[in-house]
Amino acid sequence: MATSAPTRDSVLTRAVRIFDTFTPDDPVLTVSEIARRSGLHLATASRLVAELVEHGLLARDDDRRVRMGVRMWELALRASPALTLRDTAMPFLEDAHYVVKHHVQLGVLDGTEVIFLERLSAPGAVINYTRIAGRLPLHVSSSGLVLLAFGGPALQEHVLSGPLPAYTDNTITTPARLRAELAEVRKQGFAWCPGYVHPDALGIAVPVRGARGAVVAAVSAIVPNHPDNRAVIGVLTAAARGIGRSLTGPPLTH
């Protein structure tokens, strides 16, 4: 049974906990499921859900189940740094996708994860677990390794000292291997991740640099796991350079 939230939690904190219960795999939930996932008492969750529905941040289906509201989508579109980066990158992502044919993605750093702002795919493309607004740990994906390699020492040590869960037998799971991989990424300027997330998929990523030279994002491709796909590196590098030249203003920070 879910327990009531500690009294030190503000209403805003409890609302955020409710929003966090929704995932790409579970976009629609009952109030009871929301209460259980958020750790809120059922009566508290029910009251907050009703208020959020009233403000349009959540919505109810005909069967009374709850989903994100249209107003939440509207507010999310005002997240100007991510929106500006995504809009700037789109023409270059589309050009790269035309050549790659499988998946091309744009990811940024958020805490100790990479969050994907955009993903272009094709029918029959190789399996890919990422999705728009989806997240992956930094040590798992090619985009994450690029962002970690060019991130600050504090971030790197934090990730190196934490758990490194495996997705496949090829996933990096030891600090020594991860440290060596990050050094290689910095040296060669790209991440090459054969089978790190799925045995059949190869992740390749390159950094996107802003006006001051700081890495603000990663452009990646997910293609079949075959060494002949090294030509994709050049395609991604050209896209990343185009995005970087088009960016204006200070680099994004997280």
Domain boundaries, the chain: 11-75, 80-246
pLDDT band at 66 (very low <50, low <70, confident <90, very high): very high
Q: 10 Å Cβ neighbour count for 93? A: 24
Number of residues that this document lists for the chain: 254
**212 vs 105, residue with greater confidence:** 105
| List of residues 6+ apart from 167 with CB closer than 8 A | 140, 196, 197, 198
Query: HEC string of 67-87?
Result: EECHHHHHHHCCCHHHHHHHH
Q: 10 Å Cβ neighbour count for 222? A: 31
Residue 79 has a pLDDT of 60
Q: State pLDDT tens for residues 173-227.
A: 999 999 999 999 999 999 999 999 999 999 999 999 987 889 999 999 999 999 9
As assigned by CATH, the class of the 11-75 domain is mainly alpha
Provide the CA 40 distance to its chain's centre, in angstroms: 27
pLDDT band at 82 (very low <50, low <70, confident <90, very high): low
80-246, CATH topology level:
Beta-Lactamase (3.30.450)
Sheet (strand 135-137) strand order:
135-137, 113-120, 103-110, 215-224, 201-209, 191-194
Q: State pLDDT tens for residues 15-64.
A: 999 999 998 778 899 999 999 999 999 999 999 999 999 999 999 988 89
Given the structure tokens 């089978």, which residue do they identify? Answer: 195
> Over the chain, what is the mean pLDDT?
90
Q: State pLDDT tens for residues 87-97.
A: 899 999 999 99
Q: How far is residue 162's CA from residue 252's CA, in Å, rounded to a whole number?
A: 25
Mean per-residue pLDDT, 224-235: 95
Per-residue pLDDT for 253 more than 50?
no
